[in-house]
Structure 1
Amino acid sequence: MAKEISAKKRRTRSDYVFHQVYRTRWIDNDMYAHLNNTVYAMLFDSIVNSWLIAECGMNPFTTQETTNTASQVGIIVNSFCDYFASVSFPDVLELGLRVAKLGSSSVTYEVGVFNQGEEDVKVVGGYTHVFVARETMRPTKDGMEERVRKGLEKLVKGGGAKL
């Protein structure tokens, strides 16, 4: 476990494939003047879903009948967050996204949080999705849809594993 944490602490922007900027807000701070833990979950969810919509055809605002939208949804089965340094308002954050593990029906995302212009990672977190049929909310025998898999494969980098 200590080795894994040490590796995360050495992450740089180049370890991540997709990047987004987030400008913190006053309301993001907690009573200790740093980003509230719940904000990190929102940031992770936002960057992951931005990728799923843009690259995997998983737009929740369209219907399968009118577009080529996925017939599956991702259900979170695990989440994690390792904190190395605080960030707070008015910081501008740079988020990086990669796939740490890609299975037949599941994916583990990793998000690195950096202060804009700084090289040291502040937080590394993410979660695991299991893809299930939209209609039944149960796993399918064929795993995740091909379009989703191809989009997620683009995020496998730097030690990410395809299973």
Structure 2
Amino acid sequence: YTYVGSDAITAVAANCPRLSCLRIGASDASDDAIAAVLCHARRTLRHLDLSELRDASDETFAALAKYGSQLRSLELTSLSQVATADMVDFVSGCPRLRCLSFAGSAGATDDVLFAVARFCPLLRVLIVSSTAVTNDGLFAVFPACRELELLDISHLGANVT
């Protein structure tokens, strides 16, 4: 089957000024298309799902850091080729996040949770199942994210005791 491409994503950015929720996971959207959506909808976009995005790169995360300040919910599950540094960098630009999922994403490590603890105090839902997170990262989050209501740490294996 055919994936939704960058042209469609860019058209959404240009023609939907009230866009508040966008799910574009498992698409062929380019970094430029994602940046266009984030830029155009930066005042209204509250929920973004980039799960299984085929070509997420450092540019995608730079756009999140720059334009994601109004996001409340972000799904980044099953991103297999994302570097930890890229994930750490975007977190500082998303201080209003309430729900964050990194489930199954290769770059989700303790360093990402240290950034979450520092920049996302309003977090209520954190999903880090099937990641490389350990006790150290979790212990950083607990005192910093006092609103936390749901924590999914399933399938962390020997990383958490």
User: Normalising by structure 2, what TM-score?
Assistant: 0.23
Structure with the higher strand share, 1 or 2: 1
TM-score (norm 1): 0.23
Pair member with larger Rg: 1
Higher relative contact order (CA 8 A, sep 6+): 1
